[in-house]
Structure 1
């Protein structure tokens, strides 16, 4: 089973989707990084403007190293902007920044899916790290209980991925509304933002597909193990 595992073929569609998603997001961001927005905001200025307009005064905006490492941390109420967006006035950068502010607004509104995802995040992180260890040990030592425990742990990671999808899509929807209504970004620039955020959303779809197929693979392997047992 360990030398030839036909269930690995299940992952090929998700792998191809992941590669395609990465190509699309890098291509879209690279292209619209060269298009300067007529709003004249830098990423950090836009973040502060949108937070203020949303009545969120207890969140901070910080710069962080890296490329597209932007994220909102609900535990500390910090919007962290990467070096590729913090000081940039490009259409791509402002779209990414507005997306992160969308998450800050979700937090302020106590969006139930965001709250659930935040609670689930540490558990899912541990689960995804340890799941395969328990699963493989269960196979190696013929311990069905340990094998099933690995499946349960990985199921938490899958649940996290499934919850993440609507949270991310809602943040992108909020971003487009913020840019259109709060800073009057022209429609032509909004089209660029849509392309960047749609490409980014595709990476979450690919990640979720991979997680679901990995879980299915586990269940199939466990089923074979059960029949042999």
Structure 2
């Protein structure tokens, strides 16, 4: 029985961490600087936004944080390597994030839903922390195991909402990568035909980043349950 549980634990951890490793590996593999590229990722993002008549959307270095589009401030933020780099990864990520700005401009409902949900994540996490912190006090004062179990259930549900946000985000990411960024790079001639499969790999992992984040959130829930001896 112990061997089976150990194997299941290994498989669970592999499911959690292998996607993250895959994302980092693909991004690094195609981050080699290319002297034949006419511009940086930041310059491409600016060019694509201008072509889409989104001159009001700024392009900035992501400090702190990774590559993302901020729909509230209308800013595409790129990490230094992608903002200043001339690589397939830089080009693909820049096109991906610029595509989010295009989704925003088109009134994409899924993107709007994601923005609303993401805005509530911080409040959810704070609420979960407060409920968890009060659990021992409630156990001492009320002395009701049922109430304590209910509190723990609330915490797990609150943390699970973060997983839900990441899952709902996936269609938005896939649309940005494959219905917008990839056709733009292909039809616009921004990459040679031989480089398109590599860009497709980068765009795939750019979309799957949120799957990896969802799995990490699941790990947080599993750790909580283990600490509480469930």
- TM-score, normalised via structure 2 length: 0.78
List runs of 5+ in structure 2 lacking aligned partners. 140-144
Q: 1:149 aligns with which of 140, 143, 154?
A: 154
Q: Quick check: 1:52 aligned with 2:50?
A: yes
Residue 205 of structure 1: CA displacement?
Answer: 1.8
Post-superposition Cα deviations, 1:111-165, rounded to whole Å, max 9, x if no partner, equal 1111011111121233235425524744772324433432342232122111111
Which of 32, 37, 60 aligns to 2:30? It is: 32
Partner of 1:4: none
Q: Is contact 1:39-1:183 (8 Å) kept?
A: no
Q: Which of 96, 100, 112 matches 1:103?
A: 100
What secondary structure, in the 3-state scheme, does the structure 1 residue paired with 2:83 have?
coil
Q: Is the 8 A contact 2:167 2:210 kept in 1?
A: no
* Residue 199, structure 1, aligned to residue 205, structure 2: yes
| TM-score normalised over the length of structure 1 | 0.78
Length, aligned pairs only: 217
TM-fit CA distance, 1:79 = 0.7
Q: CA deviation at 1:51?
A: 0.5
Q: State the match for 2:187 in structure 1.
A: 181
Q: Structure 1 11/180 Cα, relative in aligned 2: closer, same or farther at 3 Å?
A: farther
Aligned-pair CA distance for 1:221: 10
Write the mapping of 1:16-165 to structure 2, written as runs, cut at 5 A: 16-36=14-34, 38-65=36-63, 69-131=66-128, 134-135=131-132, 137-138=134-135, 141=139, 142=145, 143-144=147-148, 145-165=150-170
**Residue matched to 1:167:** 172
Unaligned ranges ≥5, structure 1: 1-6
Moved over 6 A (4+): 7-11, 216-222
- Determine helix, strand or coil for the equivalent of 2:205: helix
Match of 1:208 in 2: 214
Alpha-carbon distance change, 191 to 159 in structure 1, aligned in 2, over 3 angstroms? same
User: Would the alpha carbon gap of residues 198 and 55 (structure 1) be closer, same or farther in structure 2, given more than 3 Å must change?
Assistant: same
Query: Does the CA contact (< 8 Å) of 2:16 and 2:219 recur in 1?
Result: no
Q: 1:204 Cα deviation (Å)?
A: 2.1
SS of 2:89's equivalent in the other structure is helix
- Cα distance between partner residues in 2 of 1:127 and 1:86: 32
Cα offset, 1:38, TM superposition: 4.3
Measured after TM superposition, the shift of residue 15 of structure 1 is: 3.0
* Larger deviation, residues 15-24 vs 205-214: 205-214
SS in structure 2 at match of 1:80: strand
